[in-house]
């Protein structure tokens, strides 16, 4: 009887190991299992004093997508980002909990104008990063992109969610 129980326990343990192996992300390093995958992509432009900058962004437009954001991502293309859609516009605060990538967080008013930029947000930080007023959108880019492209408060973001 003891050997039958031991065999059952061993089989159960083996099954758990197999289930654990199956729960690995589809693209190693991009997403953790049990979390949202890539979201729909759309084009977005930012008009700066030095020209138009173009990005291909994922759209996070519901609570689950906004809560997940770029958590657990290990990489992102230089011209990629994530646009968080807040409708109606509201005061927001972001953090970097479970976020591996250092990010520039760009807060955008309803008219598409950039209100403020939190440059080089620290990965894994739980510090609050607030908007400078009510926002319709928040754009996350790889850290340093805003400075490299001379993106500044007051610049205009063009995307379907903004009244511009």
Q: What is the pLDDT of residues 72-94, one digit of tens each?
A: 999 999 999 999 999 999 999 99
Confidence of residue 40 (pLDDT cuts 50, 70, 90): confident
Burial of 11 (0-12, 13-18, 19+ CB in 10 A): exposed
Domain range 36-158, CATH architecture: Sandwich (2.60)
pLDDT value at position 5?
Answer: 44
pLDDT value at position 162?
Answer: 96
Residue ranges of domains in the chain: 36-158
Q: Report the chain's mean pLDDT, rounded to a whole number.
A: 84
pTM of the shown model: 0.78
């Amino acid at each position: 009887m003891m050997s039958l129980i031991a065999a059952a326990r061993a089989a159960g343990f083996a099954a758990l190991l197999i289930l654990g192996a199956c729960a690995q992300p589809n693209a190693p390093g991009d997403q953790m299992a049990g979390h949202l995958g890539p979201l729909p992509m759309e084009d977005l432009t930012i008009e700066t004093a030095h020209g138009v900058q173009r990005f291909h962004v994922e759209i996070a437009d519901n609570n689950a997508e906004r809560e997940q954001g770029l958590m657990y991502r290990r990489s992102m293309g230089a011209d990629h980002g994530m646009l968080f859609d807040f409708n109606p516009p509201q005061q927001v605060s972001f953090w970097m909990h479970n976020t591996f990538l250092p990010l520039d967080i760009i807060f955008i008013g309803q008219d598409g104008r950039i209100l403020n930029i939190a440059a080089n947000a620290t990965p894994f930080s739980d510090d609050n990063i607030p908007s400078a007023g009510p926002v319709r959108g928040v754009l996350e880019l790889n850290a340093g992109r805003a400075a490299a492209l001379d993106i500044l408060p007051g610049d205009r973001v063009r995307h379907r969610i903004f009244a511009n």
